[in-house]
Amino acid sequence: MTAPPPPGPLRKRLRHLPSGLIASAVLVVLGAVLGGVLRGAPGAFGAVAGVLLVAASFTVSSVLIAWADSVHPPLVLPVGLMTYALKLALIGLLMVRLAASGWPGLIPMCFGIAAAALAWTTAQAVWTWRARIPYVEIDGPQ
């Protein structure tokens, strides 16, 4: 058994972040305009809040997973699952509280969350497809 590679800087593990953040920035502008036109100020605020919520949660998850990878690579899966479950629970609780309050920006916020999750995932997939990541094919026993 070989020792794991020495931990590298977090920056190297977070090269994918700009693609998702750029997609989120574009959606903030689109969400503000569409939300404002369709639902007024609460709609604009709701759409922007939804996009920013997703951008923040994806960024925090990425940083935590990169940290886990730099400290002890076997922690990546547990930390990733924990951050996913925590995000889902917190966003779910927030949405339930907002729904109970009758806030008029809730529906645009839901659309902002859905659009941002799709845009971030797409941006990250495109980044991964275009990234020049070296790999090694390991042949099985001959």
Determine how many CB atoms are found less than 10 A away from the CB of residue 70: 17
Cβ-contact 27, 112 below 8 angstroms: yes
**Range(s) of the domain holding residue 66:** 12-123
78 class by beta-carbon count within 10 Å (0-12 exposed, 13-18 middle, 19+ buried)? exposed
Tens digit of pLDDT for each residue in 12-31?
Answer: 889 899 999 999 999 999 99
Instruction: Tell me how long the chain is.
Output: 142
Whether 140 maps to a domain, the answer reads no
Name which of 99, 92, 90 is nearest 60 in CA terms.
90
61: pLDDT strictly greater than 60: yes
**Does residue 99 fall inside a structural domain?**
yes
Number of domains in the chain: 1
51 lies in some domain: yes
pLDDT confidence of residue 7: 47
pTM metric for this prediction:
0.83
Whether 142 is covered by a domain: the verdict is no
DSSP state of 74: G
Is residue 135 in a domain? no
- Whether the predicted pLDDT of 141 surpasses 70: no
Q: What is the mean pLDDT of the chain?
A: 91
Does residue 5 lie in a domain region? no
